[in-house]
Structure 1
Amino acid sequence: MKKLFVAAITMVMAMGCSDGPTQLADEAEGFALLKRDATTLEATYRSGGASVRMLAVETSANVVEVTYDFGDPVIGFHIDYNQGVGKFMPEGSPLDAAQAQLVTPLLEGISNAVAEEGQRTRTEDAAMRQTSFMQIVPVGELLSPYQYVSARGWTHISCTCGSQNIGGYTRQAGRGCGCTGGSGQGCKGRCGQGCGITSTPACVGTTAYTQDCAKHDYGLGSFSAASDDYTFASNNCSCSGVGTCY
């Protein structure tokens, strides 16, 4: 698995590297878009000495490789939309807290750089969805590779905030910054960035609301169980726009 992972990362990095601008961007704080075209999206985010480089490349029709290079670790995804199969491929040390804090501003930077929902390329959509998923990857735990498939399906929940069945449990879920279930962020059940009560982040990632994502939000399900939802679930709830509760 390790040899295959290294080979895949080497191939993707070779296809997407940008000479010159990468080094300049790595020296600067904040977000930098390094490359964006029909098949490639490359960006970095640096803060306080920590950095992450995201590279998404459509290596063949509807097959996308997405990597998050923190130096150590490197976390990769292989997504085959033709087969409906995804692979989670971590390599190296556990993700630490400083590295994890880079993911949300990276996602917000990417969301400002790519097209609106429904107009994104396959690469842009994969980058948005997998960066959203990176927000729930556990911190301080040694990660193991696994495969997930869309054929196992997912169950959408209602977009309207209220008491809902989230797969064997009844909890408050749905859109809205006040839909917190009594604790934490709102938008419970969203397969992506939640929203706060006093702050309303940009509408980024997906607008899919599912049972597995809601279970994860309440600590009732694992991050891996929500993998297929984040990657493949259709957007069943609309977004009301940037700066509003959704």
Structure 2
Amino acid sequence: MRKLFLCAVSLVLAVGCSSGPEQQQAQSAEGFALLQHDATTIEATYSSGGASVRALVVETSKDVVEVTYDFGDPVIGFHIDYNQGVGQFMPSGSPLDAAQAQLLTPLLEGIMKALPQTPDAPRTRVETAAERQTSFMQIVPVGEALTAYEYVSERGWTHISCTCGNQYIGSGYYRTAGRGCGCTGGSGQGCKGRCGQGCGITSTPGCVGTTAYTQDCAKHDYGLGSFSAASDDYTFASNNCSCSGVGTCY
């Protein structure tokens, strides 16, 4: 696992060493910048208030993707093997702090604006990984020491209904969950049970993040389950709900 993480970090450093003046200028600017986007690689940055994150997503072989979020300190990596249905969470360095965590939502919004999806142009593997893992990064705990772990898709997930209502979310719990900004269950943001933080972003057409609604994601939303238990849902669960339009709650 450590070898995989070091390889991911090496990819970040290699791209950084080859950056030209235009890339260096983009990285130092405030806001979002898409530095590279092709069939096997996506590189993007978001900077605000002196904090920055650099996301690098590389398909190193068929359906095997390395994803790295470099905050300087920490660096958080994922190794995702879609062939085997296995993911690895590989953090290094200090805990994620609040200023760094606040970069992730605008980073995801920037990525989704830059990678529009249409019926004629489905997501590539690296685009899917960029969307889903950045969504997952939004729920990584802040201020807590992070440890590496592995998660496996074959352990499965259970979809819940897209329609907002009182639903069974597993482990003996019933809670309000489903699509809609008003589907809060009286607790925080709407869209409870969605494997992606909160509801739609009004400035972005279509969906931001996944539209998978599952029991483990619902338990996490209500503080009844860990972020690690929802890892396989965020990475692998199929989208069972839909959304459309600008500012649509989903």
Equivalents in 2 of 1:149, 1:162: separation in Å? 29
Question: What amino acid does structure 2 have at the position aligned with 1:192?
Answer: G
Q: 2:143 aligns with which of 140, 164, 188?
A: 140
Answer yes or no: is 1:32 the counterpart of 2:36.
no
> 2:239: which partner in 1?
235
> 1:189: which partner in 2?
193
> 1:105: which partner in 2?
106
* Deviation sequence 1:148-205 (CA, Å, 0-9, x none): 0000000000000000000020000000000000121000000012128xx7564211
Question: What amino acid does structure 1 have at the position aligned with 2:189?
Answer: Q
Q: Report the secondary structure of 1:230's partner residue.
A: helix
Question: What amino acid does structure 2 have at the position aligned with 1:220?
Answer: L
* Deviation sequence 1:36-94 (CA, Å, 0-9, x none): 00000000000000000000000000000000000000000000000000000000000
Answer yes or no: is 1:70 the counterpart of 2:59.
no
Q: Is the 8 A contact 2:85 2:152 kept in 1?
A: yes
Q: Which runs of 4+ in 1 moved over 6 A?
A: none
* TM superposition shift of 1:245: 1.0
Q: Is the 8 A contact 1:41 1:123 kept in 2?
A: yes
* TM superposition shift of 1:28: 0.4
* TM superposition shift of 1:242: 2.9
Matches within 5 A, 1:49-198: 49-116=50-117, 119-167=122-170, 168-195=172-199
Equivalents in 1 of 2:215, 2:4: separation in Å? 33
Equivalents in 2 of 1:81, 1:124: separation in Å? 14
Q: Is the 8 A contact 2:212 2:237 kept in 1?
A: yes
Q: Report the secondary structure of 1:188's partner residue.
A: coil
- Percent identity (aligned): 80
Question: What amino acid does structure 2 have at the position aligned with 1:97?
Answer: A
Q: Give the gaps of 5 or more residues in structure 1.
A: none
Equivalents in 2 of 1:235, 1:18: separation in Å? 37
Question: What amino acid does structure 2 have at the position aligned with 1:116?
Answer: Q
Answer yes or no: is 1:7 the counterpart of 2:7.
yes
Q: 1:181 to 1:17 in 2, by over 3 A?
A: farther
How many matched pairs? 244
Report the aligned-residue RMSD: 1.7
* TM superposition shift of 1:145: 0.3
Equivalents in 1 of 2:130, 2:86: separation in Å? 16
Q: Give the gaps of 5 or more residues in structure 2.
A: none
* TM superposition shift of 1:7: 3.0
Q: Report the secondary structure of 2:133's partner residue.
A: helix
Equivalents in 2 of 1:75, 1:117: separation in Å? 30
Q: Is the 8 A contact 1:62 1:122 kept in 2?
A: yes
Equivalents in 1 of 2:219, 2:16: separation in Å? 36
Q: Is the 8 A contact 1:12 1:65 kept in 2?
A: no
Q: 1:138 to 1:99 in 2, by over 3 A?
A: same
Equivalents in 2 of 1:80, 1:221: separation in Å? 24
